A and B are shown apart, each in its own frame.
Chain A
Amino acid sequence: MQPCSTLETGLTIDFFESGVGETIRITFPDGGLGIVDAHPSGSGHRPPILELVRDRPLHFVCLTHPHADHGKDLVPILEHHPSIASFWHTLSDVSVFVFSAGQIANFRSPIREAVRRFHEGWGRFLTEIYGNVGKRKIPHHKLRADLESTEVAGVKIHILSPEESIQNRFTEAYKEIAIEERKKFPDPNALSAILALEFGGRTVLLGADALKVNWESAAKKYRRLNLDKATILKVPHHGAANAMGLKKKDPSYLDHCSHETVSVLFAGDVDHPDSRVEAKLKGKTHLACLVNGLHGANQVNANPLGLMIPGAKAVARSIPPCQPVISFRIDRSGTVEQTAGHRCADCPNAPD
């Protein structure tokens, strides 16, 4: 394990192609790392996760919300990495979640077993994430919008979401599920942590899978903190329509962007991004895609069952990636350099 280096003076952010998921590595000015979500690359473009964090101390490992496409590859880090200072997460009552994830509402039918198996993955994922943190007694830090900002190696980290009220609603819902008074799980995307990193006068906005409701409250804190327009935006929820207000009057994460902003998009299946969202992103920011379902959909079998139902589409799992990694470096004076990857405007494969 290398000590934190004094050679690093800037902030580096790497967005790695991760199949249907996301992997973000932050290298802090002291050489230590932060990992915000991690999911394997289906194409093998992204190196194995333990290589990405080898020989560097981890200031934190952050699961932005309890979805496997954002956390599957955090499990090996939490299991094996020798130096993790803190685990960041957004669940207000882990026990209720872990308990509820062990059961589902199912129906008696010949496919009951298949349905049960389908859901086992999520329960296993949550248990492995939180179980390994517990097993190794890694200190944990709950992210909540009303908490004070924190500082890691000279980088201010502001938590813009989720609101405590949303976390509490989830806890209540999961308690009701546990005692069978409720059957439907609320959408865990609403628990997404929106993080704003401030360094060298620049703001990096990491949107996780935050939904419109999250951005409405995040906007207030963004203004209260008097943050500059984002230099880099990780597009929330893979460019889905339920994360962005599409009407002119709607508040939107694009309100925090300028024409200088580079927006980074992970959109791993044929349903992401929404074409209207992509158009708005291109209209206001410099879009850079790691995977873009709209561009890749014609390269996969979008109808493997051959259904002739109007409006039906398969949720394909293997969209070819646009590029393996997009990286930025910000120095203390605020100079920003894109050190890896290209923008969609320069993409040789992008459709017109």
Chain B
Amino acid sequence: MTGTLDKSEIDDSFPWTIRGGDRLSAMPHLGTVRSVAFTAAVETPISRGLRQKPRTTPKRRLRGFVIAFRGQEVRVGFVQADESIIEYLLPIGSLQKAGITEENQPFEMDEIEETSDGEYSLTYRYRPMAPASSAVTDILKSDERLAELRDAALQHFGNGTDH
């Protein structure tokens, strides 16, 4: 499910660490991964004091949930406008730092375009849509046929006739 961001939702107060010519650097801001897609040909490092304040433009918001944790990766599903789900493997660090630690926990991922000193970059920020401790039990939908099959399974396998 995609959406647009209100400009006021964007926190641009985090410290800058990028240098001219860098293609990529992780931001020390919690839950943020910085990915520099394009860079201008800047040869000298730009000190923080001299650089312009970056211009941030919210690009899109994706909504997803955790499917499974797998070592240093997290398998997530992004829910699309048509309700289909596109699965991705994401690095675990940024999600965990943002408090996204449980299977099925929903989150929003904002993609933000930033322009500063001729550099164009994309930043991703994660936000849990529900606290990790707030899980509830959902009963999955059934129908008459499934209920009948469930009963048949419980009866057949519940009588200890495995051999």
Contacts and interface: CB of A to CB of B under 8 A. Distances in A.
A127 B150 contact: yes
Contacts of A17: none
Nearest to A114: B79
Contacts of A102: 139-140, 142, 150
Interface string B101-134: 0111110000100000000001010000110001
Interface in A313-335: 313-315
A140 interface: yes
Interface stretch (A58-66, A194-202, A302-310, A339-347): A302-310
A327 B63 CA distance: 44
Interface string A111-146: 110111111100110011011111101011110000
Contacts of A139: 161, 163
Contacts of A105: 102-104, 135-138
A139 B162 CA distance: 8
B153 interface: yes
Contacts of A271: 89
Interface in B68-122: 71, 73, 75, 77-79, 83, 85-91, 102-106, 111, 122
Find the residue from A107, A304, A312 having the highest chain B CB count within 10 A: A107
Given A104-B137, A104-B140, A106-B138, A309 B33 contact: yes
B153 A131 contact: yes
A237 to B, nearest CB: 12
A308 B158 contact: no
Contacts of A314: 86-89
A99 B1 CA distance: 31
Nearest to B106: A109
Given A109-B106, A111-B129, A142-B162, A127 B157 contact: no
A228 B98 CA distance: 51
A126 to B, nearest CB: 8
B136 A305 contact: no
B78 A305 contact: yes
Find the residue from B33, B62, B73, B156 having the highest chain A CB count within 10 A: B156
Nearest to B134: A107
B50 interface: no
B104 A127 contact: no
A103 interface: yes
A110 B63 contact: yes
B139 A103 contact: yes
A116 B138 contact: yes
Contacts of B85: 114, 118
Contacts of B153: 94-95, 98, 127, 130-131, 133-134
Find the residue from B88, B136, B142, B150 having the highest chain A CB count within 10 A: B150
Nearest to B2: A305
A186 B105 CA distance: 17
Contacts of B139: 102-103
Nearest to A308: B35
B140 to A, nearest CB: 5
Contacts of B161: 139-140
B129 A94 contact: no
Contacts of A51: none
Nearest to A271: B89
Interface in A50-102: 91, 94-95, 98-99, 101-102
A110 B63 CA distance: 9
20 contacts: A94-B157, A98-B154, A103-B139, A104-B104, A105-B136, A106-B137, A107-B130, A108-B136, A110-B63, A115-B106, A118-B85, A128-B146, A130-B157, A132-B149, A134-B151, A139-B161, A140-B162, A141-B163, A184-B103, A312-B91
The 10 closest A-B pairs by CB, nearest first: A131-B149, A134-B156, A134-B152, A94-B157, A107-B130, A130-B153, A109-B106, A106-B138, A315-B87, A308-B35
Given A127-B146, A134-B151, 6 more contacts: A94-B154, A107-B105, A109-B129, A114-B77, A304-B86, A307-B88
